[in-house]
A and B are shown apart, each in its own frame.
Chain A
Amino acid sequence: MAENLANVLHEQLSEGFPDTHRNNSGEGADRRRVVEGADQELNGQPPSARPSQRLESEEDEDEELTLKYGAKHVIMLFVPVTLCMVVVVATIKSVSFYTQKDGQLIYTPFPEDTETVGQRALNSILNAAIMISVIIVMTLLLVVLYKYRCYKVIHGWLIISSLLLLFFFSFIYLGEVFKTYNVGMDYITLALIIWNFGVVGMICIHWKGPLHLQQAYLIMISALMALVFIKYLPEWTAWLILAVISVYDLVAVLCPKGPLRMLVETAQERNEPIFPALIYSSTMVWLVNMADTDAESRKKPPLNSTMPESQAAPSQSAQGPDDGGFTSDWELRQQETLGHMESSEETRRQVQEMPSARPPAIQSDDSEERGVKLGLGDFIFYSVLVGKASATASGDWNTTLACFVAILIGLCLTLLLLAIFKKALPALPISITFGLVFYFATDNLVRPFMDQLALHQFYI
């Protein structure tokens, strides 16, 4: 494992692909995650596109550079995951609304306050089974829609769920926060706040916006979604769902006929960009000049982010006859500051292959642009685990802290495996397994020990 620890710093960044999107009309969308290795998207392309002709020395230089920045990518994911968990835990601890039992979702119809333990176990198993089937059905629906190119339906679905999260759930959240802190608020101000919050969120997530703002919004909607799950899922059901969903994630991404894998491969074959609003990304590419004659590129949702340095793109991109009014010296200036901007086949493929696209001449500042991607579903389920731990554990903060560290280490290991295998990997299994093990172990074993120690003021 130690050699692999060294290998993690080899890691190319991962190109995420659309995750399954479960739409619950009651709660908005779930996002799942696929992390893809660097070379994977090349597999779908003709062999001539493979960089296997790279020389050995260039590969070593590659590894040297990725070595330096591999750890950076792990931190780029640690920070948002930590922020999401902090928001969820802070809310759970202060706003009592999210720990009150106000009924259950229609997806988990069986109640858990039964007389016998056996009955409760049975109910929770049935609840988990129903929830997982709903998730599987939604995933398959998404894959089918994607395969048959019903992009409009998918985009509509995404937009409706984002609307629900950004307006309705944040309205409820704000209302509960005001109740907790006894803040008086009139409806007009509230409407203005929610309207602005929601509209800016929709713009940032689905169109263009500053990178950090977009990341902040994605973290916020993940936290809102996680809070909804924490509130409406009863205890045993929640733990069972977490366990089963990690298994499902593993199967769906790694099995040859798994829905997520098919989704990934289809997207690869078509060489299409990712859906916005399903994936958190730490850097993305901003293509300013979309005045391309290729009609298909206009249909695709525009990617949004900034390219800090010039992309190491050889200027052999084919420019369309219509340059959209951008004169050649304007473009030259832009190229110097921002880098290549034409949305040609070359740059689009480079966007797609951003992690691994390296021309023979290694640019030392190339790695600055590379980022990592993590699906929002992973954010949500990590936060559900930590939130549930803080809500229900009697060991309180120790359990929360233990689950937090366990999830971060699981994420680290997942990225390590990604660097080794360089293919699509599920992010849930390792982290959730560690999280669950540490939750139950800390709650039942460590808590009594630490309580006794604190009582006598013994220190270990």
Chain B
Amino acid sequence: MTVAVFFGCSFIAFGPAFALFIFTIARDPLRVIILIAGAFFWLLSLLLSSLVWFIAMKASNDKDQQLQRGLLIFGVMFSVLLQEVFRFAYYKLLRKASDGLAALSEDERSHISVQQMAYVAGLGFGIMSGAFSMINILADSLGPGIVGIHGESQYFFLTSAFMTMAVTLLHTFWGVVFFDGCENRRWWVIAVVVALHLLVSGLTFLNPIYEGSLPPAYVILVSMAVWAFFSCGGSLQNIQQFLTCWKNDAGSEVAS
């Protein structure tokens, strides 16, 4: 596989996340720390869920393919649930830290709002999730081989890249919405986020029938983007103002 495939797929998978990191997170050290801690929490959830899957797998019959596939599906579902549990735990941790910071600062306000923390935490989860899903595949794409030579899909790398990008951005939006739901005690929001995560992961069980997994994932991505935008205070008016301000004063900074 060629270098073009490698670069193309890596930019598809990590381009948006990288851009978000560079433009919104890299300048502020506190956000970088929250990002890395978010990645760490995701990693912990993955560790625990792999442990559970590993134990289940070792305790079962190795030869039974159907059983192994069933166990894998169970592992995926359990992992999704555990990720959301850890997202909640991270929310609790950040809330306490934010309260502590606010109590100590002069004007009783924290330097970073809950929405910003939600966004950064979601992005941390997303980047780590995407990296773990995609990096080995990218590394393999630099090596020799022919994709799909045994009859599998030719589009393995491309679809993996698109799915990774979708999952990364989805984690970001889920983070925003989830934290918002926790803040305002709307538990149905949390239930919907969990359900959507389970749905997106469940749809990937249809792979390699990519029509079943990718387009729905992107539909959910767009709707989550809209929901997250509105849940953290955006509105159509904001967008309008953003666009008209920009058109009116080309030189001045856009106030958002």
Q: Contact string, B79-113, partner A, CB cutoff 8 A, digits 1/0?
A: 11001000000001101110111011110000100
Q: Is the interface of B mostly helix, strand, loop or mixed?
A: helix
Contacts of B54 in A (CB 8 A): 444-445, 448-449
Task: Name which residue of chain B comes closest to A434, CB basis.
Answer: B40
Tell yes or no: B135 within 8 A of A by CB.
Answer: yes
Which positions 434-460 of chain A face chain B at CB distance < 8 Å?
Answer: 438, 441-442, 444-446, 448-450, 452-454, 456-460
Contacts of A374 in B (CB 8 A): none
Contact A6 B76 (CB under 8 A): no
Asked if A243 is an interface residue, CB under 8 A from chain B, the answer is no
Interface flags, B19-59, vs A, CB<8A=1, else 0: 00000000001101100110110010011011101100100
The answer to whether A203 has its CB under 8 Å from any CB of chain B is no
The residues of B that contact A60 with a CB separation of less than 8 Å are: 104, 106
A445 near B36 (CB under 8 angstroms)?
A: no
Q: Is B128 an interface residue (CB 8 A)?
A: yes
Q: Are B200 and A459 in contact (CB under 8 A)?
A: yes
Contact A450 B106 (CB under 8 A): no
Whether, in the assembled complex, B204 has its beta carbon less than 8 Å from a beta carbon of chain A, the answer is: yes
1/0 per residue, CB under 8 A from B, across A64-88: the answer is 1001100110110010000000000
How near does chain A come to B73, taking the closest CB pair, in angstroms? 8
B129 within 8 A of A: yes
A409 x B80 contact (CB < 8 A): no
Q: Is A158 positioned at the interface, with any CB of B under 8 Å from its CB?
A: no
A402 with B43, Cβ < 8 A, contacts A448-B54, A450-B136 known: yes
Cβ-based interface call for A396 (8 A)? yes
> Which among A60, A78, A449, A456 has the highest number of chain B CB atoms within 10 Å?
A449
CB closest chain-B residue, reference A441: B47
A305 interfacial by beta-carbon distance below 8 Å: no
Q: A72-B29, A438-B43 are in contact. Are A460 and B93 (CB under 8 A)?
A: no
A412 / chain B contacts, CB cutoff of 8 Å: 33, 36-37
Interchain CA distance A417-B135 in the complex, whole Å:
33
Other-chain residue from B76, B93, B103, B133 in contact with A5 (beta carbon distance below 8 A): B93
Output the nearest chain A residue to B44 by Cβ-Cβ distance: A438
- B255 beta carbon closer than 8 Å to chain A: no
| Residue among A453, A457, A460 having the largest count of chain B Cβ atoms under 10 Å | A460
Q: Contact at A458–B76, with CB atoms within 8 Å?
A: yes
A1 close to chain B: CB less than 8 A:
yes
Contacts A396-B139, A459-B201; is A74 near B156 (CB within 8 Å)? no
Q: How many angstroms from the CA of A386 to the CA of B18 in the assembled complex?
A: 23
Report the Cα distance A409→B41, complex, angstroms: 10
Contact residues in A for B172 (Cβ distance below 8 Å)? none
- Is the pair A450, B132 in contact by a Cβ cutoff of 8 Å? yes
User: In the assembled complex, which residues on chain B have CB atoms less than 8 Å from the CB atom of A398?
Assistant: 132, 135-136
Residue A2 is within 8 A (CB to CB) of chain B in the complex: yes
Interface string of A260-297 (1 = CB under 8 A from B): 00000000000000000000000000000000000000
Chain A residues within an 8 Å CB radius of B115: none
- B75 on the A face (CB < 8 A): yes
Given contacts A6-B100, A454-B133, A460-B129, contact A409 B40 (CB under 8 A): yes
A138 within 8 A of B: no
The verdict on B207 contacting chain A, using a C-beta distance below 8 Å, is yes
| Chain B hits for A10, CB < 8 A | 104
Report whether B100 and A5 are in contact in the complex, using a CB–CB cutoff of 8 Å: yes
Chain B residues with Cβ under 8 A from A402's Cβ? 43
Docked complex Cα distance between A160 and B200 (Å): 60
Nearest B residue (CB) for A415? B33
Which residue from B32, B96, B207 sits with its C-beta under 8 Å from A3?
A: B96
Q: How far, in whole Å, are A266 and B97 apart by their CA atoms in the complex?
A: 37
Question: Which residues of chain A are near B101, meaning CB under 8 Å?
Answer: 6, 9, 67
In the A-B complex, the 7 residue pairs with the closest CB atoms:
A6-B100, A2-B96, A75-B29, A457-B207, A5-B97, A71-B29, A449-B50
- Further pairs besides A78-B36, A442-B47, A449-B75: 19, Cβ < 8 Å: A6-B97, A6-B103, A6-B104, A9-B30, A64-B104, A68-B111, A74-B29, A397-B135, A398-B132, A401-B135, A409-B37, A445-B51, A446-B46, A446-B132, A448-B50, A449-B54, A458-B72, A460-B49, A460-B79
- A: which residues have CB within 8 A of B? 1-3, 5-7, 9-10, 60, 63-64, 67-68, 71-72, 74-75, 78, 395-398, 401-402, 405-406, 408-409, 412, 438, 441-442, 444-446, 448-450, 452-454, 456-460
9 residue pairs from A and B, CB less than 8 Å apart = A7-B100, A75-B33, A78-B36, A405-B40, A441-B50, A445-B50, A452-B72, A454-B160, A460-B129
Interface residues of B (CB under 8 A from A): 29-30, 32-33, 36-37, 39-40, 43, 46-47, 49-51, 53-54, 57, 69, 72-73, 75-76, 79-80, 83, 92-93, 95-97, 99-101, 103-106, 111, 128-129, 131-133, 135-137, 139, 156, 159-160, 163-164, 167, 200-201, 204-205, 207-208
